[in-house]
């Protein structure tokens, strides 16, 4: 089968590989052919801290996905995450030669390419450069300047950078696992491809990816990425609070959170005792669900306040008509959707990566925990910016047209050359006859 796409989601708690292809029935949907998932190892807060352990875990996930699909892969799309992944706004401009010539796709690409030359903080490099509005000759402001006239072309860009050593460690790990990266994409951007609809991006929406150790946040407005941020808290913060307050093992605290953790109102009125096995020669412990709910609520409230502050800091709070979409593994915590809506005052929904999955696909993948893995696979044929696809198609048509003209010109030139040659021969023969 051709056009196989493989994605690798390197997370703090899990490593997931998805193998798929573009659906033959819908060009914007993914047909999943296989998947593999293992517990993460050698990764802390989204960053690789032990290359050998991480490489082994990645290899295991790859082998599971290959066995599931019956397809061997050597190229993947991989995510990058961590608090070192930072977004900031920058301004760029180019001066064109003539006002008479229309602005072309090549002009847009030159302006975007020039942004990769800006000086970033020491030890970091640019991983994404996303244009916002363009300005022509200091006056006209537009999202798409192609075809317009002007000399000075400027644009504001949202640029995402990451630590160089973190990028290099990802490449080292996946190479040890026997594959290479075609795309390295920020986790939140990948999740956005899988979760958000075109209508939400246009109306204004904030995507919150609630991971195990970090929370990624991204704001869309007018179908363009306007703001990204990282909050160094996550599901493990809740687990740690349970562990410390209940004096139990971390794995026991995680199980308590997953099975009984909740911030719904009924969790504070319905009391039940959960028995936790004690350590060797020690009696078991009892944890009441009402106390558990109080511990979880305190931490979740703090996290939601941080999210609210970041949304306000973005400057787009009043424009988020589509409100908030929350995804990621910790988004499954009962009641978190209602708490977000209550504290922020914005409509909130739980984001499932099912809109761009082919109908009748695997139900297990229709879970917020797989948003990034699905988005990375979709990145094989789906663009972050609606203008990218348009520019690519326009350039493709232009190139095809140029090739056709080139062929015609070559054929015509060849015929003309033959005609001249024959004429010269005729003249020479005629001269000799005389």
CA pair distance 85, 375, nearest whole angstrom: 18
In the chain the domains, ranked by start, together with CATH numbers, are 88-162 (3.30.1490.110), 198-351 (3.30.420.40)
CA pair distance 250, 325, nearest whole angstrom: 29
147's tokens: 């075809």
Q: Contact at 8 Å (CB) between 77 and 377?
A: yes
> How do 75-80 and 4-10 pair as beta strands?
parallel
Q: In this predicted structure, what is the pLDDT of residue 32? A: 95
Per-residue model confidence as pLDDT tens digits over 72-108:
999 999 999 999 999 999 999 999 988 878 999 999 9
Per-residue model confidence as pLDDT tens digits over 245-300:
999 999 999 999 999 999 998 889 888 999 998 888 888 999 999 999 999 999 99
Q: In this predicted structure, what is the pLDDT of residue 395? A: 59
Nearest residue to 66 (alpha-carbon basis) of 185, 177, 170: 177
CA pair distance 127, 146, nearest whole angstrom: 25
Q: In this predicted structure, what is the pLDDT of residue 409? A: 40
Q: Contact at 8 Å (CB) between 130 and 157?
A: yes
CA pair distance 182, 179, nearest whole angstrom: 10
Q: What angle, rounded to 10 degrees, do the helices at 289-314 and 250-260 form?
A: 80
CA pair distance 134, 155, nearest whole angstrom: 4
In the numeric block, the tokens 């739980």 are attached to 350
Given a cut of 50, the residues of the chain with pLDDT beneath it are 1, 397-434
CA pair distance 361, 364, nearest whole angstrom: 9
Q: In this predicted structure, what is the pLDDT of residue 20? A: 95
């Amino acid at each position: 089968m051709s056009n196989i796409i493989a994605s690798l989601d390197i997370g703090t708690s899990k490593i997931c590989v998805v193998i798929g292809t573009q659906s033959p029935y819908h060009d914007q949907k993914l047909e999943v052919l296989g998947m593999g998932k293992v517990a993460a190892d050698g990764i802390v807060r989204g960053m690789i801290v032990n290359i050998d352990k991480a490489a082994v875990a990645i290899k295991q996930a790859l082998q599971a996905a290959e066995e599931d699909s019956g397809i061997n892969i050597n190229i993947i799309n991989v995510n990058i995450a961590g608090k070192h992944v930072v977004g900031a706004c920058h301004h760029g401009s180019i001066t064109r030669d003539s006002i008479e010539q229309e602005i072309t796709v090549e002009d847009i690409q030159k302006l975007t390419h020039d942004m990769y030359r800006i000086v970033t903080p020491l030890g970091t490099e640019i991983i994404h450069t996303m244009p916002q509005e363009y300005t022509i000759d200091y006056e006209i402001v537009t999202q798409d300047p192609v075809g317009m006239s002007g000399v000075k072309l400027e644009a504001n860009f949202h640029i995402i950078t990451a630590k160089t050593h973190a990028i290099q460690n990802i490449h080292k790990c996946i190479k040890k696992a026997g594959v290479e990266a075609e795309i390295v994409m920020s986790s939140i951007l990948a999740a956005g491809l899988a979760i958000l609809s075109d209508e939400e991006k246009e109306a204004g929406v904030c995507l919150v990816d609630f991971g195990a150790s970090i929370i990624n946040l991204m704001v869309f407005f007018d179908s363009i990425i306007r703001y990204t941020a990282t909050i160094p808290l996550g599901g493990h913060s809740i687990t740690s609070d349970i562990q410390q307050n209940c004096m139990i093992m971390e794995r026991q605290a995680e199980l308590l959170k997953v099975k009984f953790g909740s911030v719904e109102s009924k969790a504070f009125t319905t009391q039940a005792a959960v028995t936790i096995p004690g350590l060797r020669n020690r009696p078991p412990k009892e944890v009441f669900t009402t106390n558990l709910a109080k511990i979880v609520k305190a931490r979740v409230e703090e996290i939601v306040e941080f999210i609210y502050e970041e949304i306000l800091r973005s400057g787009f709070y009043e424009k988020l008509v589509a409100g908030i979409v929350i995804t990621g593994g910790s988004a499954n915590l009962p009641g978190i959707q209602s708490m977000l809506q209550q504290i922020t005052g914005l409509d909130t929904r739980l984001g499932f990566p099912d809109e761009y999955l082919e109908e009748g696909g695997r139900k297990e993948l229709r879970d917020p925990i797989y948003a990034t893995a699905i988005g990375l696979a979709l990145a094989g044929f789906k663009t972050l910016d609606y203008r990218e696809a348009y520019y690519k198609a326009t350039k493709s048509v232009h190139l095809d047209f140029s090739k056709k003209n080139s062929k015609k010109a070559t054929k015509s030139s060849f015929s003309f050359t033959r005609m001249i040659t024959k004429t010269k021969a005729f003249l020479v023969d005629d001269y000799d006859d005389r």
